[in-house]
């Protein structure tokens, strides 16, 4: 039963790590892109939010499942 906590921790940790790298690259490229062509910045920002939302989904789902494991399955 204790392994459930480890599973939840791995789930949240790895999911968060991947998304952090992804959003980091995405944000960096957004700044780079809007520095090169400032007139495109609003359009790029819309696309950025779309991409961030897609990247964001996995760790958020992971956190939800992890919380379920910790508090309902193990608790």
Partner 1 sequence: MAANGDSQTVSEYIVHHLTNLTYGKLPEGYERYDGSVVPAQGQWTLAHGADEMAAMGFNAIHVDSMLWSVGLGVIFCWLFRRVAVHATSGVPAGWVNFVEMIVEFIDGTVKDTFHGRNPLIAPLALTIFVWVFLMNLMDLIPVDLIPHSLMLMGVDYQKIVPSTDPNITMGMAIGVFLLMLFYSIKVKGFGFVKELTMNPFNHPLFIPVNLFMEVVGLLAKPFSLGLRLFGNMYAGEMIFILIAALFSVGLFWMLPAALLQIGWAIFHILVITLQAFIFMVLTIVYLSMAHEDH
Catalytic residue positions, numbered: 56
Query: What is the spatial distance between Cα 67 and Cα 39, in angstroms, rounded to a whole number?
Result: 43
Instruction: Give yes or no for residue 71 binding partner 1 (CB under 8 A).
Output: yes
Q: Which two tokens stand for residue 66?
A: 């992890």
Query: What is the spatial distance between Cα 33 and Cα 27, in angstroms, rounded to a whole number?
Result: 10
Please count the residues of this chain forming the interface with partner 1, following the rule CB under 8 A: 17
CA atoms within 13 A on the CB side of 22: 18
DSSP class of residue 70 equals: I
The 31-60 site mask, x for binding partner 1 (CB under 8 A), equals: ------------------xx-xxx-xx--x
Among 23, 26, 44, 63, the residue binding partner 1 under the rule CB under 8 A is: 63
Which residue ranges make up the site for partner 1 (CB under 8 A)?
A: 49-50, 52-54, 56-57, 60-61, 63-65, 67-68, 71-72, 75
């Amino acid at each position: 039963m204790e392994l459930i906590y480890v599973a939840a921790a791995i789930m949240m940790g790895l999911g968060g790590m991947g998304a952090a790298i992804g959003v980091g690259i995405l944000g960096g490229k957004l700044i780079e892109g809007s520095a090169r062509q400032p007139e495109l910045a609003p359009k790029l920002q819309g696309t950025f939010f779309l991409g961030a939302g897609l990247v964001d989904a996995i760790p958020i789902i992971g956190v939800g499942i992890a919380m379920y494991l910790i508090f309902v399955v193990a608790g």
